[in-house]
Amino acid sequence: MNIVIIGAGRVGTALSMALNNSGHNILKVISRSGKNTERLAGILGCEYGNKPVIPPASEVVIAAVNDDALYSLMKEINIPDNTVIAHTAGSVGLEVFERHITDFGVFYPLQTFTMGRDYDFHSIPLFIEANNKKSHSVLKSLALTVSEKVFDLSSEKRRYLHLAAVFVCNFVNHMYYAGKEITGMAGMEFNVLLPLLEETLEKVYELGPERSQTGPAIRNDKKTIEKHLDLLSFSPDLQKMYRVITGAIINKYTG
């Protein structure tokens, strides 16, 4: 298919590479400031620009821009007839598409993307939603060329999935960061925690999270909890997080 990618950030870059590798023709990459577009267009052998001007031959436009920027983008963009436009946001619905746009939908990859990393899209779940049969068929067939895990999902359900992703990815990563800082206070490298991280993840796969919980909160070891809170006196934020999460674990298992 002939595809235009708007947004040359984390998702725009990963998705355009995956689509290109699957044999699609990326016609153009567009971003607001033009940052990354020249380099990405060089790799893909396509046009680039910093205005949302869509070539008439485009069959699909994927808008991988910041969630908030989607609203202004959809006001100013003109989509050629017979072109389907989709966004990639977990928590934005179909309402973002303005009335002048006729064929639209969502192409949401459930993964964490960081610049400079390679992604094998075959195993990345892709969630599709569309406003009509034609858009649905175009987006679904496109999705099936890059991923083996393609699902239909409404905006409402996708929002829950995105929220779950924030917990299991974004929040957990922030915990790793805290763990790294605290491990440093013992004069040790973060790597010393890796076998613990690996076993935690393996248990989640094998037993599920509800049967994997350990630690002072589930045992309700109050003295240990107090000692930890003392050690965290260097950071009111970490102390607050420790209290809230400890309280939530106690309530879940003993409440």
| Contacting residues toward ligand NAP, per CB under 6 A | 6-12, 30-33, 35, 52, 64-67, 69, 72-73, 88-90, 109, 111-113
Residue nearest to ligand NAP as judged by C-beta position: 9
Shortest distance, position 124 Cβ to ligand NAP, whole Å: 9
Shortest distance, position 31 Cβ to ligand NAP, whole Å: 4
Shortest distance, position 46 Cβ to ligand NAP, whole Å: 15
Shortest distance, position 86 Cβ to ligand NAP, whole Å: 11
Choose among 160, 142, 159, 158: nearest CA to 150: 142
Shortest distance, position 5 Cβ to ligand NAP, whole Å: 9
Q: For residues 14 and 71, is the Cβ–Cβ distance under 8 A?
A: no
* Residue 203 token pair: 């248990």
Q: Is the dihedral of CA 43, 45, 46, 47 positive or negative?
A: positive
Q: For residues 149 and 81, is the Cβ–Cβ distance under 8 A?
A: no
Angle of helix 236-254 relative to helix 172-185, nearest 10 degrees? 120
Shortest distance, position 115 Cβ to ligand NAP, whole Å: 7
Q: For residues 154 and 129, is the Cβ–Cβ distance under 8 A?
A: yes
* Edge-to-edge strands, sheet with 126-130: 47-49, 25-30, 2-6, 60-63, 84-87, 104-109, 126-130, 150-152
Q: Which is nearer to ligand NAP, 11 or 84 (CB)?
A: 11
Shortest distance, position 128 Cβ to ligand NAP, whole Å: 13
Q: Which is nearer to ligand NAP, 2 or 36 (CB)?
A: 36
Q: Is the dihedral of CA 185, 186, 192, 194 positive or negative?
A: negative
Q: For residues 79 and 69, is the Cβ–Cβ distance under 8 A?
A: no
Choose among 64, 104, 108, 67: nearest CA to 84: 104
Q: For residues 31 and 6, is the Cβ–Cβ distance under 8 A?
A: yes
